[in-house]
């Protein structure tokens, strides 16, 4: 069997027939707004530089709690 895995979500946020997201319905307006803002900004080189900075400087670091 040669089955491909869908790695990009469709317009409804699903990955293939069953894969999707669970978000409480009350949060959906905020999620939709966030997705729209990210889609508009992700091609901006300045945004990408700032994102890369925060990913390299903060993600995975120890916190005062660890």
Give domain status of residue 1, yes or no: no
Residue 2 has pLDDT above 70, yes or no: no
Tally of structural domains, the chain = 1
Distance CA 8, CA 23 (A): 18
On whether residue 36 sits in a domain, the answer given is yes
- Which residues are registered as beta bridge partners of 19? 15
Residue 5 covered by a domain: no
Joined together, the tokens standing for residue 4 give 């491909």
pLDDT at 6: 66
Mean model confidence pLDDT for the chain? 85
Residue 17 resides in a domain: no
43 found inside a domain: yes
pLDDT of 1 > 80? The answer is: no
Determine the structural domain holding residue 40 and report its residue range.
25-57
Q: What is the pLDDT of residues 7-39, one digit of tens each?
A: 777 877 777 777 777 789 899 899 989 989 999
Is there a domain that residue 42 lies in? yes
Query: Within a domain: residue 9?
Result: no
**Does residue 65 fall inside a structural domain?**
no
Residue reference for tokens 């889609």? 39
Cα separation, 25 vs 48, in Å, equals: 30
């Amino acid at each position: 069997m040669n089955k491909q895995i869908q790695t990009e979500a469709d317009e409804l946020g699903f990955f293939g027939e069953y894969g999707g997201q669970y978000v409480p319905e009350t949060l959906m307006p905020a999620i939709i707004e966030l997705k729209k803002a990210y889609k508009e900004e992700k091609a901006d080189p300045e945004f990408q530089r700032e994102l890369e900075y925060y990913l390299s400087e903060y993600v995975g670091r120890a916190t005062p709690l660890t």
